[in-house]
Structure 1
Amino acid sequence: MTDDILRPWDVRSSRTLVRDRWINLRADHCVTRRGVSLDPYYVLEYDDWVHVVALDEEDRLLMVRQYRHGVGAASLELPGGKLDAHESDPLAAGARELLEETGHATPSLRHLARLSPNPATHSNWIHVLYGEGAREVAPLNLDSGEDIVVERIPWREALELALGGGIVNSQHVGLLVIALAQAKGVKIGG
């Protein structure tokens, strides 16, 4: 019985409400395995995202500070963005985003995890990448809606910021902890 309840819902119909270069909003008519009708059930269809935890040659984390309109304030974040339509390799997309947003490149970029930003409503994936030895090799190459200040923060200080509320993007807090746990052996809690 439990296995039957956890199987995918029956999608009776689906319609796109908004589709543009930023977002696709879909409304599905779903029927759960218990027979409950959910109409509409909204799904946000984004392209996959990639975020890079990159340390420079002095073991400082490369972060970007930028205005985020949703919260109406500047936010300290990991460099990253969406995979472009022609991209399928998160490593290549991450290297591109790191270079564009920080002017840095790293000789050692590796894929750590593929996670869902919100499995209830989002159809896309977040890829977290890790690299060391990043060097500044180019000027910033920002998108038209980006105004970014690059900050180099000792990674232990960045972890303290993440755990203390200085980094407000909850996804980035989690991604940073995952990367530092794997790469630096950081343990959180007991």
Structure 2
Amino acid sequence: MTDSPLEDTAFPVDVTASERVFDGLVWDIRRDTFDYNGSPVTREYMDHTGAVAVLALDDHDRVLLIRQYRHPVGLREWELPAGLLDVDGEDPLVAAQRELEEEADLRAEDWHVLSEFATSPGGNNEVIRIYVARDVSASHGDFERAEEEADIEVAWVALDDVVDAVLARRLQNPSLAIGVLAAHASRARGWATLAPADIPWDRHPKRRPAP
């Protein structure tokens, strides 16, 4: 170990060719060729917009969970409210607030950044920012839910009970697992690890400042 912080660092490479080889309904597949250690390397990956998720907590340290069907894994998963950053120019915090209203008919007054993670950095460029939302109330929104969202179930569950379910391998959604484990650890530290809700998202591959 060195004296520098333990952190992921940006590493620009010279991309010599880039093409979209599959144009999907939601995500595309891109093929890049780049120079690395003096040799050309070609990689294909899913090109993703990124996403946000919301860990909403009430005054009793209960977490808001939603359950919906996820076809690739054939499961009705318990998850955190979440959504894609697919509105051009939309601020991630605004997207998170919108998703909480659209999926759970809730709004929150207090927002902080809890965690960020890359879902599968060897195969896609998807990154997710998880917010903690508190001081929650009903939004009385009138959102028409369709497809997999049409039969969403909502539950408030004690944070410790959700952590137990993750550790027992009964829940596998990554945003949920990372979110509740991070919240559990942050709470033990007096929530000192939380960051302001509007901090720049420099580790998002599409928002990263130019070198």
Residues 124 and 71 (structure 1), Cα distance of their counterparts in 2 relative to 1, 3 Å cut: closer
1:142–1:113 CA distance, 2 compared to 1 (3 A)? farther
Pairwise CA distance, 1:166: 2.1
- The structure-2 alpha-carbon separation of the partners of 1:162 and 1:105, relative to structure 1 and needing over 3 Å to count, comes to same
TM-score, with normalisation over the residues of structure 2? 0.75
Q: Is the 8 A contact 1:128 1:179 kept in 2?
A: no
Q: Which amino acid aligns with 2:97?
A: A
RMSD: 2.3
CA deviations 1:79-135 (Å, max 9, x no partner) are: 111123234322111111111111111111112233322222322321110012322
Alignment partners' CA distance in 1, 2:74 and 2:142: 23
Q: Which shifted more, 126-135 or 66-75? A: 126-135
Ranges in structure 1 where 5+ consecutive residues have no aligned partner: 1-5
Secondary structure of the equivalent of 2:140?
Answer: coil
Unaligned segments of structure 2, at least 5 residues? 1-9, 191-211
The residue that corresponds to 1:90 in the other structure is: 92
SS state at 2:60 partner:
coil
SS state of the match for residue 88, structure 2?
A: coil
SS in 1 for 2:186: helix
Identity %: 26
- Match of 2:186? 182
Deviation at 1:21, TM superposition (A): 4.4
| Range moving further from structure 2, 125-134 or 142-151 | 142-151
What amino acid is aligned across from residue 178 of structure 2 in structure 1?
Answer: G
* Mapping for residues 106-125 of structure 1, pairs under 5 Å: 106-125=108-127
Q: Which residue of structure 1 lines up, in the alignment, with residue 161 of structure 2?
A: 157
Report the equivalent of 1:132: 134
Q: Which moved more, 1:82-91 or 1:99-108?
A: 82-91
- Corresponding residue to 1:38 among 41, 60, 84: 41
CA shift for structure 1 position 138? 2.2
Report deviation, 1:152.
0.9
State the secondary structure of the residue aligned to 1:101: helix
In structure 1, what residue type is equivalent to 2:56?
A
| TM value normalised by structure 1 | 0.82
Contact kept in structure 1, 2:69 and 2:75, CA below 8 Å: yes
Task: Output the CA distance in 1 between the equivalents of 2:36 and 2:178.
Answer: 30
Q: 1:3 corresponds to which residue?
A: none
